[in-house]
Chain A
């Protein structure tokens, strides 16, 4: 019942499906070991969500990869303004795009954009400065735009054939 929900969160932080499974399994182990602390009068999904996010951050700390991927050249077209074009992109493709980011950029992007934490909280959780958090976010967005534009360009070329 919660496999899909949990996996959808774990995959956004993971480099691959297997790593996402590891994060999800670790999270569920914590759920089983701490189930006595769960207040049944409150909704379960936020509690599970919090556990999975914490577990993903722990994985990030344990497997920090400081190697930067090659900067992706940005295209000039601002495709983000035209949502009708990108609406056809599936969730799986979104995950693939996010997994192309470096772990640091990916973590900051997920925590800020999807989970809606502040930069102060992100800096606290990841052990970085607020400035680094903001910088990583900007770079993540820039890279994602580039990846998205590349994907749309390839799709357009495929459609034209």
Chain B
């Protein structure tokens, strides 16, 4: 029998007609009670899940903050420790107006030797029996005396001449103890990272630290340099400012977009993306970024590929849909630079995106006996789908100017949950081309 004959089959007509005569189905209270219990259990489950999610989010935030501050402190302590360990001042590296240095001119060795006290201590070394040498400022110096005698002068393991070793040890002790009462320049030098110390800045040090890579070299490449007081202050201020401001960067991104549902195949007409991002360098190789990317997504779906119960005709029949959605993608992404070259490098990213639906338009083809009928539904829905998609990419970036770099970044986004009015699992492919400016 052909399909038309089936429609007019008396048996079919009989059953079709009888199926609508359901008046004798009596209501049973127990059926309603079963449903009521299920609804109560579901409510309790939803409340419990909501509470757990809040707790987990709060815990993650707390741990992240603690980890961040702990790591920052750890870096800072390491820098200071390294600075203190590596600092080995000699006569030529000391500041000209250092009050201790003034006593240690090249002509002074015999004089200072001759001026050594009977107990072997130097005139500049405070002890219980002598007045401390007056400094440039008028403040009373804090005595160093901790009850111990100075180091013996006949230590044969000291490679530096005895008098020089003593002077260096004294100066070291003096510097480490006097901070707020010292010359402000010296106080600043105590806490600055190693690279900013005036007598240790070398071009190699600047290149080592990526954060300072854009600094104009204030020194010659041949070695160390003793800046004047003004030059040193300006250098330190400038370096310090750049170090703090170089962690942020702004980016403008654009990309074509190929989207589909249910899998990574059968793409429809391409869409597009464009937007702004801001990123923060946690370390020179690791950054976190976010932004807002306006996207136009186009896809088509068969009736089994979308979960919405909205797309049906008056008989309840569903069909295929063709969709065009405008949304804002808010990504939160971690970027890791795994290969750094001279002026370029490679990086990988991973993150989660939230989709804010701006406008959804669907062309609906019903599956009933009117295959030519088309129906269109369009609305500014404004729904938010938080953390609905996970994104991954690998890219290449190149510095084109002091603070500018270009990136190309093929990406894929996979669904974590369904989005949109049609409740689809949306897959997207594309390649970002972006330009970034380091603030």
Chain B, interface SS category: loop
On chain A, the number of residues with a Cβ less than 8 Å from chain B's Cβ atoms is 52
CA A46 to CA B48, docked complex, whole Å: 34
Partner of A80, one of B9, B38, B39, B302: B9
A43 B42 Cβ-Cβ under 8 A: no
Q: How far in angstroms is the closest Cβ of chain B from A8? A: 3
B314 to chain A: which residues have CB within 8 Å? Answer: 43, 46
**Given A28-B35, A43-B314, A94-B18, do A34 and B304 touch, yes or no (CB 8 Å)?**
no
Chain B interface residue number, banded: 35 or more
B39 A4 Cβ-Cβ under 8 A: no
Q: List 30 A-B contacts (CB under 8 A).
A: A3-B25, A3-B31, A4-B27, A21-B28, A25-B35, A29-B39, A29-B42, A37-B308, A38-B309, A43-B314, A46-B312, A46-B315, A47-B309, A47-B310, A50-B309, A50-B317, A50-B318, A80-B10, A80-B11, A83-B13, A91-B25, A92-B24, A94-B15, A98-B15, A109-B15, A114-B19, A115-B315, A118-B3, A118-B367, A137-B6
CA A21 to CA B33, docked complex, whole Å: 11
Interfacial residues, chain A to chain B (CB-CB below 8 A)? 3-5, 7-8, 11-12, 21, 24-25, 28-30, 32, 34, 37-39, 43, 46-47, 49-51, 53-54, 80-81, 83, 86, 89-92, 94, 98, 109, 112-118, 121, 124-125, 137, 141, 144-145, 148
Q: For residues 368 through 422 of chain B, which have their beta carbon under 8 Å from a beta carbon of chain A? A: 368-369, 421
Q: How far in angstroms is the closest Cβ of chain B from A23? A: 11
Over the window 81-93 of chain B, the binary record of Cβ atoms lying under 8 Å from chain A Cβ atoms (1 yes, 0 no) is 0000000000000
A89 to chain B: which residues have CB within 8 Å? Answer: 18
Interfacial residues, chain B to chain A (CB-CB below 8 A)? 3, 6, 9-16, 18-25, 27-28, 31-32, 34-35, 38-39, 42, 302-304, 308-310, 312-318, 367-369, 421
**Given A34-B309, A124-B304, do A90 and B38 touch, yes or no (CB 8 Å)?**
no
**Given A25-B34, A37-B309, do A86 and B14 touch, yes or no (CB 8 Å)?**
yes
CA A92 to CA B26, docked complex, whole Å: 11
A141 B9 Cβ-Cβ under 8 A: yes
A12 B9 Cβ-Cβ under 8 A: no
Q: How far in angstroms is the closest Cβ of chain A from B129? A: 89
A144 B15 Cβ-Cβ under 8 A: yes
A114 B304 Cβ-Cβ under 8 A: no
A29 to chain B: which residues have CB within 8 Å? Answer: 35, 38-39, 42
CA A113 to CA B310, docked complex, whole Å: 24
Q: Which are the 9 A-B pairs with shortest beta-carbon distances?
A: A8-B22, A50-B316, A46-B316, A49-B316, A80-B10, A80-B11, A94-B18, A25-B35, A4-B25
**Given A4-B22, A50-B318, do A21 and B31 touch, yes or no (CB 8 Å)?**
yes
CA A129 to CA B6, docked complex, whole Å: 19
**Given A50-B312, A53-B316, do A91 and B10 touch, yes or no (CB 8 Å)?**
no
B308 to chain A: which residues have CB within 8 Å? Answer: 37
Q: Which residue of A lies closest to B46 (CB)?
A: A33
B316 A91 Cβ-Cβ under 8 A: no
Q: In the complex, given contacts A25-B31, A90-B21, what are 4 additional A-B residue pairs having Cβ atoms less than 8 angstroms apart?
A: A8-B20, A29-B42, A38-B309, A89-B18
A98 to chain B: which residues have CB within 8 Å? Answer: 15
A50 to chain B: which residues have CB within 8 Å? Answer: 309, 312, 316-318
B38 A5 Cβ-Cβ under 8 A: no
CA A11 to CA B25, docked complex, whole Å: 10
Partner of B11, one of A38, A43, A124, A145: A145
A25 B38 Cβ-Cβ under 8 A: yes
A32 to chain B: which residues have CB within 8 Å? Answer: 39
Partner of A37, one of B16, B42, B310, B368: B310
A4 B38 Cβ-Cβ under 8 A: no
Q: How far in angstroms is the closest Cβ of chain A from B152? A: 85
CA A46 to CA B315, docked complex, whole Å: 6
Q: Which residue of B lies closest to A43 (CB)?
A: B314
CA A27 to CA B11, docked complex, whole Å: 29
Q: How far in angstroms is the closest Cβ of chain B from A51? A: 6
B14 A114 Cβ-Cβ under 8 A: no
CA A11 to CA B31, docked complex, whole Å: 14
B22 to chain A: which residues have CB within 8 Å? Answer: 4-5, 7-8, 91
A91 to chain B: which residues have CB within 8 Å? Answer: 18-19, 21-25
**Given A29-B38, A34-B309, do A80 and B303 touch, yes or no (CB 8 Å)?**
no
Q: Which residue of A lies closest to B371 (CB)?
A: A118
CA A20 to CA B296, docked complex, whole Å: 44
A113 B31 Cβ-Cβ under 8 A: no
B35 to chain A: which residues have CB within 8 Å? Answer: 25, 28-29
Q: How far in angstroms is the closest Cβ of chain B from A57? A: 11
A83 B10 Cβ-Cβ under 8 A: yes
CA A12 to CA B21, docked complex, whole Å: 13
